[in-house]
Amino acid sequence: MNGFDFDEHLRNRKAVIDEALERLLSTFDEPLGRLHEAMRYAVIDGGKRIRPILTLDACYAVGGDDRLALPAACAIELIHSYSLVHDDMPCLDNDDYRRGQPTCHRAFGEAMALLCGDALLTLAFEVLADEQIKAGVPTDVAMEVIRVIAKAAGHLGMVGGQAKDIEAQERLSAGEQLHELELYDIHRRKTGALIAASVEVGAIIGGAFKWQRKALREYGEWIGFAFQVVDDLIDAAGEPKKGKWEPNAVMVLGVDGARHLVNEAVKCALMQLRQFDERAEPLRAFASFLLERLG
Amino acid sequence: MNGFDFDEHLRNRKAVIDEALERLLSTFDEPLGRLHEAMRYAVIDGGKRIRPILTLDACYAVGGDDRLALPAACAIELIHSYSLVHDDMPCLDNDDYRRGQPTCHRAFGEAMALLCGDALLTLAFEVLADEQIKAGVPTDVAMEVIRVIAKAAGHLGMVGGQAKDIEAQERLSAGEQLHELELYDIHRRKTGALIAASVEVGAIIGGAFKWQRKALREYGEWIGFAFQVVDDLIDAAGEPKKGKWEPNAVMVLGVDGARHLVNEAVKCALMQLRQFDERAEPLRAFASFLLERLG
């Protein structure tokens, strides 16, 4: 790919995003003790920053100034972080560790973790309404970004997927079968919606033409889908999680079926980029990178 | 007050708001099973709708079209509702009943209640970005409204107050004293911030002059403060809550001190309205209504 170094690209992007998140979470108007500590703990955690990188890359792909997309990129990562904090809690996944560190509720207590998630979600919208405008994003563009992110993160998107996931787990535990279409619906919402939105808002901020926005949105949906199935394959290859029944593509399709699905989804994602020039190289490389994760 | 019937006014306003909330929570693009049921359960609950009424009244007070303020009013009530759902959860207040009905987590389980709160908070911002514009609020005004609400609801506002409240409870349980100033800070954030924002965004949407917005913001801060101290007085007069140490104005100031404080706060609130004409009558009546609640 013309000597394009994707690993270096990821490192550079991650450094820019980490610095912006660090700034957001250290320059508060007033100190607020443990809540702020918990918020920092939950966000500054060595995450890969996949979603915000996609936002910057999509903005770049349509010829936009990717610095304008940095506030939206950070807001999306704040939303992703809040969702991990709440998902880890005892009433949901009950996880004690994340990336080798105690989860937020193990480190700060359940009450503070619940509030930390609430605060991060709210901060995301504060950043979208405040930092975007300060960065120079036109108000109507910034408003469209808020609309897309709120829909993706909410009751028909990420939170809705999580709710359907719980219902599916209950039925699996009761010995019922999970239909393939149901699994796709959970994946599309739970992981896919926010990833697709990450790409779409980058396109919006970059001033995408209508066809570009549509193509990148669809690229994002395929990527989000492939991303989750890859995760399912990795999960299925590892230790079973406390005997919990979690909806997983491998359970429904088998390893070969799931691998085939990832391949097809990545092809569809790449097809959506066919009319884009070399500025879409990072997005193309991301799709290939998903195949590499499969090994 | 020129025959102004405040009770009838409250009833009329509540009917308009309840109808709008009912519409928001019944016309989803897709059904999402128990999550949507939980969201409706948490919001359509016979609440008094104090905050959204203040939004409409503040818009009216500056001569604005209060129908424009209806989406923001609903969004604020969604945020208030989410905060009750999360506050009631076992890791926070562990309440089993609210207004005589099982709390959301008692009715739907903890996992669904957590997600329900998350979904309501996110929906609030979707409504602010979507319904406000559809209703005809100019985009820059709508963006300012999002900014004010996000700040009031977030880490330095409502959620921050809740976090400080937890820390104060821990210290009280350990036998430490609560300083009066600390109590004020908790109240200002936990209850005051969202009430003040309710009034302020009504003013913003109504096209308030700068001095009007400032005066109404301060009116809202005094009202929010008085509101919480009245609640403290009512709580202190009732049954003790499971022996929990909750920061309470009566604990710090005694009954007489707390009653005196409400009186003074209401006077300050009314002073802020001195340059407003008869359209501020509902806001004036609301301040007097707080004194009546004291009995």
* ipTM entry: 0.96
Of B91, B109, B112, Cβ closest to residue A114 = B91
| Strand residue runs (E) in A29-178 | 97-98, 101-102
Q: Find the Cα–Cα–Cα–Cα dihedral B281, B285, B287, B291, rounded to 10°.
A: 160
- Judging contacts by C-beta atoms under 8 Å, the chain A residues touching residue B28 are 155-156
Non-local CB neighbours of B168 within 8 Å, separated by 6+ positions? B178, B182, B183, B186, B247
CB contact under 8 A, B150 and A111: no
How many angstroms separate the Cα of A255 from the Cα of each of A110, A266, B152?
A: 36, 17, 48
Which residue of chain A has the CA closest to B109?
A: A91
What DSSP string runs through A53-86?
HHHHHHHHHTT--GGGGHHHHHHHHHHHHHHHHH
The 3-class secondary structure across B219-273, one letter per residue, is: HHHHHHHHHHHHHHHHHHHCCCCCCCCCCCHHHHHHHHHHHHHHHHHHHHHHHHC
**Strands A97-98 and A101-102: what pairing?**
antiparallel
**Domain assignment of residue B92, yes or no:** yes
- Judging contacts by C-beta atoms under 8 Å, the chain A residues touching residue B91 are 109-111, 114
Confidence grade of residue B177 (pLDDT, cut at 50, 70, 90): confident
SS3 category, B98: strand
Find which of A86, A91, A182, A185 to mutate to test the B interface (most B CBs within 10 Å of its CB). A91
Q: Is B35 on the interface with A (CB under 8 A)?
A: yes
Residue B98: what are its φ and ψ, rounded to 5°?
-140, 125
User: Buried b / exposed e across B217-254, counting CB within 10 Å, b at 16+?
Assistant: bbbbbbbbbbbbbbebbeebeeeeeeeebbbbbbbbbe
How many angstroms separate the Cα of A135 from the Cα of each of B9, B148, B151?
A: 43, 18, 18
**Residues B162 and B228: beta-carbon distance below 8 Å:** no
pLDDT for the residue numbered A240:
61
Q: Is A140 on the interface with B (CB under 8 A)?
A: yes
Q: What is the pLDDT of residues A16-73, one digit of tens each?
A: 999 999 999 998 878 888 999 999 999 998 899 999 999 999 999 999 999 999 999 9
**Domain assignment of residue B119, yes or no:** yes
Of A33, A140, A150, Cβ closest to residue B122 = A150
Q: Number of folded domains in chain B?
A: 1
Percent of residues in chain B assigned helix, strand, coil, to nearest 5: 75, 0, 25
**Domain assignment of residue A100, yes or no:** yes
Find which of B36, B94, B114 to mutate to test the A interface (most A CBs within 10 Å of its CB). B114
Mean per-residue pLDDT over chain B, rounded: 93
- Judging contacts by C-beta atoms under 8 Å, the chain A residues touching residue B88 are none
Cα gap A145→B278, rounded to integer Å: 40
Confidence grade of residue B35 (pLDDT, cut at 50, 70, 90): very high
Burial-class residue A295 by CB neighbours within 10 Å (0-12, 13-18, 19+).
exposed
**Domain assignment of residue B1, yes or no:** no
Confidence grade of residue B159 (pLDDT, cut at 50, 70, 90): very high
**Domain assignment of residue A1, yes or no:** no
Find which of A26, A89, A110, A122 to mutate to test the B interface (most B CBs within 10 Å of its CB). A122
Q: What is the pLDDT of residues A140-184, one digit of tens each?
A: 999 999 999 999 999 999 999 999 999 998 888 898 888 889 999
CB contact under 8 A, B143 and A159: no
Of B126, B153, B166, Cβ closest to residue A151 = B126
Q: What is the pLDDT of residues B200-222, one digit of tens each?
A: 999 999 999 999 999 999 999 99
- Judging contacts by C-beta atoms under 8 Å, the chain B residues touching residue A121 are 118, 121-122
Of A39, A115, A160, Cβ closest to residue B32 = A160
Q: Is it the case that residue B160 has pLDDT exceeding 70? A: yes
- Alpha helices by DSSP H, listed for A174-209, are 180-187, 193-205
Q: Is A135 on the interface with B (CB under 8 A)?
A: no
Burial-class residue A115 by CB neighbours within 10 Å (0-12, 13-18, 19+).
buried
Distance from CA of A132 to the nearest CA of B (A): 11
How many angstroms separate the Cα of A101 from the Cα of each of A42, A88, A97, A234, B194?
A: 10, 12, 5, 20, 35
Domain that holds residue B216: 6-294
Cα gap A45→A18, rounded to integer Å: 10
DSSP 8-state code for residue A178: P
Find which of A84, A86, A105, A115 to mutate to test the B interface (most B CBs within 10 Å of its CB). A115
Of B35, B121, B123, Cβ closest to residue A122 = B121
Which residue of chain B has the CA closest to A129?
A: B147
Distance from CA of A133 to the nearest CA of B (A): 9
**Residues A61 and A276: beta-carbon distance below 8 Å:** yes
Average pLDDT over residues A186-195: 95
CB contact under 8 A, A156 and B128: no
**Residues B78 and B44: beta-carbon distance below 8 Å:** no
pLDDT for the residue numbered B91:
96
CB contact under 8 A, A121 and B118: yes
pLDDT for the residue numbered A243:
59
Angle at B234 between CA B232 and CA B237, to 5 degrees: 105
Structure tokens at A127: 């950043």
CATH of the domain at A81: 1.10.600.10
For chain A, the straight-line distance linking the first and the last C-alpha, in angstroms and rounded, comes to 20
The residue written with tokens 């349509």 in the block is A62
Q: What part of A 53-92 touches B (C-beta under 8 Å)?
A: 82-83, 86, 89, 91-92
- Judging contacts by C-beta atoms under 8 Å, the chain A residues touching residue B130 are 147, 150
Chains A–B, number of C-beta pairs less than 8 Å apart: 155
Q: Is it the case that residue A211 has pLDDT exceeding 70? A: yes
Non-local CB neighbours of A150 within 8 Å, separated by 6+ positions? A125, B122, B123, B125, B126, B129, B130
Half-sphere exposure of B157 (CA within 13 A, CB side): 28
Cα gap B153→B135, rounded to integer Å: 23
Average pLDDT over residues B61-69: 97
Q: What part of B 220-279 touches A (C-beta under 8 Å)?
A: none
pLDDT for the residue numbered B2:
56
| Strand residue runs (E) in chain A | 97-98, 101-102
Find which of A81, A114, A131, A165 to mutate to test the B interface (most B CBs within 10 Å of its CB). A114
Angle at B233 between CA B231 and CA B236, to 5 degrees: 105
Mean per-residue pLDDT over chain A, rounded: 93
pLDDT for the residue numbered B252:
84
Distance from CA of A27 to the nearest CA of B (A): 12
Q: Is it the case that residue A1 has pLDDT exceeding 70? A: no
Cα gap B91→A122, rounded to integer Å: 20
Burial-class residue B154 by CB neighbours within 10 Å (0-12, 13-18, 19+).
buried
Non-local CB neighbours of A203 within 8 Å, separated by 6+ positions? A58, A59, A61, A62, A212, A213, A216, A217
Q: What is the pLDDT of residues B210-260, one digit of tens each?
A: 999 999 999 999 999 999 999 889 888 776 666 567 788 888 889 999 999
CB contact under 8 A, B122 and A118: no
CB contact under 8 A, A129 and B146: yes
The residue written with tokens 């005196």 in the block is B260
**Residues A162 and B145: beta-carbon distance below 8 Å:** no
Distance from CA of A286 to the nearest CA of B (A): 29
CB contact under 8 A, A140 and B142: no
Distance from CA of B274 to the nearest CA of A (A): 32
SS3 category, B188: helix
Average pLDDT over residues B273-279: 97
**Domain assignment of residue A145, yes or no:** yes
Which bin fits A136, alpha (ψ -120 to 50), beta or left (φ > 0)?
A: left
| Strand residue runs (E) in chain B | 97-98, 101-102
Distance from CA of A243 to the nearest CA of B (A): 18
Q: Is it the case that residue B87 has pLDDT exceeding 90? A: yes
**Residues A141 and A173: beta-carbon distance below 8 Å:** no
Average pLDDT over residues B263-268: 96
Q: Is it the case that residue A189 has pLDDT exceeding 70? A: yes
CB contact under 8 A, A146 and B139: no
**Residues A42 and A104: beta-carbon distance below 8 Å:** yes
**Domain assignment of residue B204, yes or no:** yes
